[in-house]
Amino acid sequence: MYLPYFKLQSTFLVGFGIGFILAILTFIVHDAFNGTSSTFENSLSNTNDARRNSLLKWLTSDTRNNEEIIMQVWKDQMLGNKSTYGQWLTDKNVRTNNIDMDFYLYGSTREQELESDWLGSNVQLTCVVFVKKVKLAKSIWNTWGKRCNNIYFFGQEKDPEVPIINLELKLVSSWQLLCEAFNYVWRDNKTMDWLVFSKDDTLVVPENLRYMLAPLNHTRDYYLGHAVVLWGQPYNVADAGYVISMAVLGKLANMFGNSEKCITGGKYWKQEDYYLAKHLASMGIFPSDTRDQYLRGTFHGYSLQSLLWGVVKTGSYWTRALYPIQNECCSLMSVTFNVGEPDKMYTLDYLLHHLYIIKKEAVFGTRRAPTAVPDEDVWKIALKEEFNITHLKNISKDAYYEIWHSKYSEPGQLMTKNDQRKGLDKPN
């Protein structure tokens, strides 16, 4: 009779004891994790503050402007690289000078050629853009696309302003679209040394890209971009754009010379950048290091704002990078950024190419336009021409007003007379 009761009591006590111990352990673990989380959050906050302070110091420094940016790809002995940009200019018998932008922009003559313009003539760059949104394609057409030697837009959309090429094929993968674009450009047979491929939400800075490419030989095999590793295969991420030399394009056109070969080269969508690297690797061609001498990146698959302030670098774009980015996010010779919106494309283009900051005291840009009559004498000339009044010493402001009001009681009368004069001045 007492045995079952005793067993029930024992079971209750054991269960209560286990529950009590678990509650104590849960409290201790929760408290420990709270402390760890708090410490981690404080550490992360301090890290972000230090990073922002470092960025602000870097952005506001002037010392960097006098230093030549050295690209890591220039040091690639496997490809026979030995030259820097400065040495390449010397070999071309070209000398660079600092230009007074005040005189260049507002002076009477332009006797000197900008370095960027000269590079545009000596480093042939073909741009290939894959279009999803016409508005973005238009923004490229009206901004950085003008600075390419040749430009191709591929997509399914049509627009009267932007010459978008519709291949009129039933595409089975994004790789096929890329492959067909290779063949189209190759068969078009235009003069080109280098090709940059980008999506329509990418801002490319052709001037900086030419700076990077100038010392390189386009007849050798180059594959440039932001490289990551996936399943043991290094490849350049399409979101950051990538560049191939003319030599590589020729090999791709030889390997995939028709649509059937393009179709069999890759069957999944949104993996064209991976397939490209895989096929290039089969030919012994791998991504080169595009960082500068401070190991800062040049091809960016994020917006500039996110790179400077907002990105927590934990994604595969960062953790699987073949050439990890160090120090500040961005080289001063950066080549690409993600933009995403047409208005941002126009804004950045304006800041890059149309906004000039003249740090020293300007002469031409701030000089007043020459006038035949000083401002203080304009009213005297007007009274003489309109009313034949030459005695002007004793005319007060009120008298001056009454003189004009007596002849022109309404502003429209004066405007009509001026229009009549312009009509008489026109040549027959």
Question: 99-122 pLDDT, tens per residue?
Answer: 887 788 777 777 778 899 999 999
Collapsing DSSP states into helix, strand and coil, what is residue 321?
Answer: strand
Report which secondary-structure segment, H or E, holds 338. strand 336-338
285 in Cβ contact with 248 (< 8 Å)? yes
Q: How far apart are CA 145 and CA 156, in angstroms?
A: 19
Collapsing DSSP states into helix, strand and coil, what is residue 71?
Answer: strand
Give residue 61's pLDDT: 57
Per DSSP (E only), the strands in 194-257 are 194-199, 202-204, 223-225, 227-230, 233-236, 242-245
Per DSSP (E only), the strands in 85-163 are 125-131, 150-155
For 72-354, CATH gives: 3.90.550
pLDDT digits (tens, 9 = 90+) for 133-168: 999 999 999 999 999 999 999 999 889 999 999 988
246-255 vs 272-282: helix crossing angle, rounded to 10? 90
Name the CA radius of gyration of the chain, rounded.
34
Could you tell me the maximum CA-CA distance found in the chain, to the nearest angstrom? 137
pLDDT band at 369 (very low <50, low <70, confident <90, very high): low
Give residue 21's pLDDT: 55
pLDDT band at 412 (very low <50, low <70, confident <90, very high): low
Write down the domain spans for the chain: 72-354, 375-422
pTM of structure: 0.73
Collapsing DSSP states into helix, strand and coil, what is residue 165?
Answer: strand
